[in-house]
Amino acid sequence: MLKKFIVNLKKNKYPIIIGYKLFNKDYILKYFKHKKKYIVITNNTLLNLWKKYFYKYLKKSHIFVDIISIPDGENYKSLNEVNNIITRLLTKNYGRDSILIAFGGGVIGDLTGFIASIYQRGIEFIQIPTTLLAQVDASVGGKTGVNHNLGKNMIGSFWQPKYVIIDLFFLFSLPKKEFLSGFSEVIKYAVIFDKKFFSWIENNFNKLKNLDKNTLLYCIYKCCKLKAKIVLLDEKEKNCRALLNLGHTYGHAIESYMNYKNLLHGEAVSMGIVLALETSYIIGILKKNVLHRIIKLLKCFNLPVLPPKNMPALSYILYMKKDKKNILSKIRLVLPSHIGLVKIYNNISQEIIISAIKKTLQRKY
């Protein structure tokens, strides 16, 4: 069970390795150099869960590993935590020859990548994602960053990893809710790019939910390939890479309003996708049967399809106006017209956005 391919950027080439129980195999050792110092950035939960499997493997192989563990949660994806970690790196005299390892989900990956991009003007880092959402999306493409009180991912950089090592074994320890939340990103890829992949997910959702290894391996590989393809075309998100934000403009607004608490990122993306679908339907570019087909698949993975009832429609506008993808202060939305076809719109009025929010809240999908 192993798949591998190269993300072949002009200035950065790096492999993505996908398999099961990779850290029980000598194969993975070739990606670690004995003369380098590796600093693992993780959270306390993962440290306790995987110390024997992951850290002991590296130490047994005589790889020098230090560990920086932070509390778990989106609210720790902050400049304050960046400062804390950099202080620890400087205290221990880690130089440019050191390599950071992001061992965790999207929060850890974004935070570690951002620190790697700015520490001593840039050092190498490795992505070892442990959540489905990070494995199919966040770990690939070099987007890094932290949140600000006024908006999600407002402070960041593009900094490509040295390697991405995706081990399916980590998924088996995830709480079911967190595991399933990652499928919002999987469905997102299918809606944006690939109608056949969408049908494949419909036909295999039970195997995916029940962690069938071969089915998961194909699913993750497919998503990584789709993302790598768009990153090759537009690494710095100046054009078509923005298509990957389907559901995220609405979703980030929800996360910001809720102060990144009591809601998983994948759940917010699922809500955001539904709001984008409803917007498409209102302006007449999406048929009702397609809207319901996509929502039905989201529900197959127990994903939420209704936004928070207590969030005022005007609060969406407040946060969406601060979205970093906006141009000339106009809210940009990625909206689907068919499964496998989406487009960026700069001219959707606030009235339509508010109408989409209100109508979604009234629906009984």
SS3 letters across the chain:
CEEEEEEECCCCEEEEEEECCHHHCHHHHHHCCCCCEEEEEEEHHHHHHHHHHHHHHHHHCCCEEEEEEECCCHHHCCHHHHHHHHHHHHHCCCCCCEEEEEEECHHHHHHHHHHHHHHHHCCEEEEEECCHHHHHHHCCCCEEEEEECCEEEEEEEECCCCEEEEEHHHHHHCCHHHHHHCHHHHHHHHHHHCHHHHHHHHHHHHHHHCCCHHHHHHHHHHHHHHHHHHHHHCCCCCCHHHHHHCCHHHHHHHHHHCCCCCCCHHHHHHHHHHHHHHHHHHCCCCCHHHHHHHHHHHHHCCCCCCCCCCCCHHHHHHHHCCCCCCECCECCEEEEEECCEEEEECCCCHHHHHHHHHHHHHCCC
**pLDDT score of 288:** 96
Domains of the chain with CATH codes: 2-173 (3.40.50.1970), 176-362 (1.20.1090.10)
62 flagged as catalytic: no
Which of 241, 255, 278, 332 is an active site residue? 241
Which of 30, 121, 288, 309 is an active site residue? 121
Do the Cβ atoms of 187 and 294 come closer than 8 Å?
A: yes
121 flagged as catalytic: yes
| Mean pLDDT confidence for 278-284 | 97
| Mean pLDDT confidence for 163-177 | 96
Tokens 């693992």 belong to 40
Confidence of residue 347 (pLDDT cuts 50, 70, 90): confident
Query: 190: closest CA among 208, 164, 173, 172?
Result: 208
Q: What percent of the chain has pLDDT over 90?
A: 82
77 flagged as catalytic: no
81 flagged as catalytic: no
265 flagged as catalytic: yes
| Mean pLDDT confidence for 290-304 | 98
185 flagged as catalytic: yes
**pLDDT score of 55:** 82
Q: What percent of the chain has pLDDT over 70?
A: 99
143 flagged as catalytic: yes
Query: 298: closest CA among 267, 343, 332?
Result: 267
Q: Is the confidence at residue 159, as pLDDT, over 80?
A: yes
Tokens of 287: 């048929």
| Mean pLDDT confidence for 3-11 | 93
Q: Is the confidence at residue 326, as pLDDT, over 80?
A: no
Which of 77, 222, 265, 332 is an active site residue? 265
Q: Is the confidence at residue 186, as pLDDT, over 70?
A: yes
Return mean pLDDT, the chain: 94
Confidence of residue 313 (pLDDT cuts 50, 70, 90): very high
Which of 245, 255, 267, 278 is an active site residue? 245
Q: Is the confidence at residue 327, as pLDDT, over 80?
A: no
267 flagged as catalytic: no
Q: Is the confidence at residue 328, as pLDDT, over 70?
A: no
| Mean pLDDT confidence for 197-203 | 98
**pLDDT score of 151:** 82
Which of 74, 185, 235, 267 is an active site residue? 185
Which of 77, 152, 188, 227 is an active site residue? 227
> What is the maximal distance between C-alpha atoms in the chain?
61
Confidence of residue 11 (pLDDT cuts 50, 70, 90): confident
- For residue range 67-125, list pLDDT tens digits in order: 999 998 888 999 999 999 999 999 999 999 999 999 999 999 999 999 999 999 999 99
Which of 252, 255, 267, 332 is an active site residue? 252
**pLDDT score of 75:** 87
Q: Looking at 188-202, 298-312, 326-340, which range is the least confident one?
A: 326-340
